[in-house]
Chain A
Amino acid sequence: MIRSVAHLQSLAWQRAHLARHKRSWIIMGVVVVIALFVGAFGYFGPVAWFALTNAVLHTTYRLAVAYGIALVLGVAIALVVGWSPFADALFPVFDILQNVPSFALIPFFIYFLGYTDMMIILFAVSSVIWPILFAVLTAIKNAHSDLNDAATIFGARGLRRIPYYLAPLSFPAILTGSIVGIAIGWESVIGAEIITSITGFGAFIKDASATGITHVAIAGMLVILVIVFVINRLIWAPLLAESGKRYSE
């Protein structure tokens, strides 16, 4: 918690942040009003809301698990690699791995895991992990050399360097990496669901568009929009505000 904000600069920052906050609520409000309006005219008549919500929640669940695994794995790998003297040597290796088109790996995942929840989750992990890993590695690599020296001089040496210096140093990077990673994660999970037709939102809209009902796809997008908005406002926005205030210099 920031207990006191003394600077005018931070106050200006806070005001700008509140303005952004307000704007996003207004935009979301307009979208919802329009949706309710067209809904009132029966646009969403053919939509099976219960099945749709179920499908979206299933997709969200897969993404959440995938994100959790990717976060732990990505941050752990990045911290250990960034701490080791091999960071510079391993960077290009990660770069190549990251550039492997993830959907090209789907047959491989299906071969080993079959058409299961676990397959989609681990497939999503393989794409969500990269932005997190790279953000943390870059943050460690670009840390000011004086800050590195200060950590060393005042005793954050050896393995202790990871929890007391590298991890808190990487906090803003973990945030931005997570936001980008989750955006990619939606794509991967829904894409994998469309390709493999295993339950979830992807499979749901695939079925729907096969029968020519576009209303269902639009309703589904609205539901996802609401979920993304809620996650953004409840989790990321406060965390970003916190990190922006503290790590601003």
Chain B
Amino acid sequence: MALVLSRVNAHFTDEGVREQPALSDITFSIASGSFVSVIGPSGAGKSTLMRVILGLMPIASGEVVRNFSRPAMVFQNYALFPWLSALDNVAFGLRMSGMERTRRERIAREKLKEVGLSHLEDHYPAALSGGQRQRVGLARALAISPDFLIMDEPFSNLDTITSEALKTDLLKIWRAYGMTILMVNHLIPDAIELSDQIILMGAHPGHIEKTVEINLPRPRDTRSESFFKHVDQLTENIRTIS
């Protein structure tokens, strides 16, 4: 198991005064090398869950077991450093780990090439389109050769064509690297196409409604009957939550 959460509770504090429950009694585990999606309505604490998993937010009770050493994250709004060029953004993690310049730049160039952006390495984020920025964000995460990759709605700010292309690349990368991927998603067909397991969350406070295993063979045929059956079932599940 790459990650085990058992009975995790967490809350927000507004200005240190009031406490609001954010996550309640979260229990699940993720197998090493698997692709897991989290789906749920807004307010279900999906992003909070990601922050808890990365240790960016304290938990009130429960236990988190992390069997990974190099986590990385891809953000919904890219979160690139605007003062760094695409290449320097990708090399950021390596620079922080003390790698010397020529080596880290070589690796960063490789990663940019992998996501198809080697011609834009000198561009600053402000001069890149949304899809290009997200590719830089992905390359930045890949550069530290992560064993656990968290993606928080990475496609939601992108148009369909861009996100389809990125999805294909992502699957390729996942196969090549063999890392564990945990992705927050809001599109049911996307989640079914990509994941081995789907965690369904409900809101107020965030809790787990259901965990669904997807055992369809890969590469997945998104026009097949069994695929649509899964979509129908998950849609029905979500309808009962909201």
The docked-state distance in angstroms from the alpha carbon of A45 to that of B97 is 67
**Does any Cβ of A come within 8 Å of B140's Cβ?**
yes
Measured between beta carbons, the chain B residues less than 8 angstroms from A171 are 83
**Does any Cβ of A come within 8 Å of B174's Cβ?**
no
B81 & A147 in contact (Cβ 8 Å cutoff): yes
Measured between beta carbons, the chain B residues less than 8 angstroms from A146 are 75-77, 79
Measured between beta carbons, the chain B residues less than 8 angstroms from A155 are 92-93, 95-97
A249 & B125 in contact (Cβ 8 Å cutoff): yes
Binds B, one of A3-11, A25-33, A67-75, A201-209: A3-11
Nearest CB on B from A249, distance (A): 6
Measured between beta carbons, the chain B residues less than 8 angstroms from A150 are 73, 75, 79-81
User: A10 contacts which of B54, B82, B84, B126 (Cβ < 8 Å)?
Assistant: B126
The docked-state distance in angstroms from the alpha carbon of A62 to that of B96 is 40
A6 & B96 in contact (Cβ 8 Å cutoff): no
**Considering the complex, which residues of chain B in the window 78-133 have a beta carbon less than 8 Å from any beta carbon of chain A?**
79-84, 92-93, 95-97, 122-128
| A129-170 to B contact mask, C-beta < 8 Å, 1/0 | 000000000000000101101111111110010001100110
**Does any Cβ of A come within 8 Å of B51's Cβ?**
yes
Measured between beta carbons, the chain A residues less than 8 angstroms from B128 are 6
Measured between beta carbons, the chain A residues less than 8 angstroms from B73 are 149-150, 153
The docked-state distance in angstroms from the alpha carbon of A165 to that of B92 is 10
B123 & A154 in contact (Cβ 8 Å cutoff): no
User: B96 contacts which of A3, A156, A168, A249 (Cβ < 8 Å)?
Assistant: A156
Measured between beta carbons, the chain B residues less than 8 angstroms from A165 are 81
If over half of B's interface residues share one DSSP class (helix, strand or loop), that class is named, otherwise mixed; here it is loop
Measured between beta carbons, the chain B residues less than 8 angstroms from A3 are 122-123
B82 & A246 in contact (Cβ 8 Å cutoff): yes
B82 & A154 in contact (Cβ 8 Å cutoff): no
The total number of A-B Cβ pairs within 8 Å is: 78
B126 & A149 in contact (Cβ 8 Å cutoff): no
User: A247 contacts which of B56, B83, B93, B95 (Cβ < 8 Å)?
Assistant: B83
How many positions in chain A have a CB within 8 Å of any CB in the partner chain? 30
**Does any Cβ of A come within 8 Å of B234's Cβ?**
no
A154 & B51 in contact (Cβ 8 Å cutoff): no
The docked-state distance in angstroms from the alpha carbon of A4 to that of B92 is 21
User: B127 contacts which of A7, A160, A164 (Cβ < 8 Å)?
Assistant: A7
Find the A residue at minimum CB distance from B74.
A150
Contacts A146-B77, A164-B96; is A154 near B72 (CB within 8 Å)? yes
Measured between beta carbons, the chain B residues less than 8 angstroms from A153 are 54, 56, 71-73
Output the residue of B73, B97, B122, B126 with the most chain A CB within 10 A: B126
**Does any Cβ of A come within 8 Å of B144's Cβ?**
yes
Find the B residue at minimum CB distance from A149.
B56
A247 & B54 in contact (Cβ 8 Å cutoff): no
Measured between beta carbons, the chain B residues less than 8 angstroms from A169 are 83
Measured between beta carbons, the chain A residues less than 8 angstroms from B93 are 154-155
B122 & A154 in contact (Cβ 8 Å cutoff): no
| A208-249 to B contact mask, C-beta < 8 Å, 1/0 | 000000000000000000000000000000000000011111
Nearest CB on A from B135, distance (A): 15
Contacts A146-B75, A147-B79, A171-B83; is A10 near B96 (CB within 8 Å)? no
A interface residues (Cβ-Cβ under 8 A, vs B): 2-7, 10, 144, 146-147, 149-157, 160, 164-165, 168-169, 171, 245-249
10 A-B contacts, Cβ less than 8 Å apart? A2-B124, A4-B127, A5-B127, A149-B79, A150-B80, A155-B93, A155-B97, A164-B95, A247-B83, A249-B82
19 other A-B residue contacts (CB within 8 Å) besides A147-B81, A149-B79: A3-B122, A6-B123, A6-B127, A7-B127, A10-B126, A144-B79, A147-B79, A149-B73, A149-B75, A150-B73, A152-B56, A153-B54, A153-B71, A153-B72, A155-B92, A155-B93, A155-B95, A246-B83, A249-B125
The 6 closest A-B pairs by CB, nearest first: A155-B96, A154-B93, A146-B79, A150-B79, A168-B83, A146-B75
B interface residues (Cβ-Cβ under 8 A, vs A): 51, 54, 56, 71-73, 75-77, 79-84, 92-93, 95-97, 122-128, 140, 144
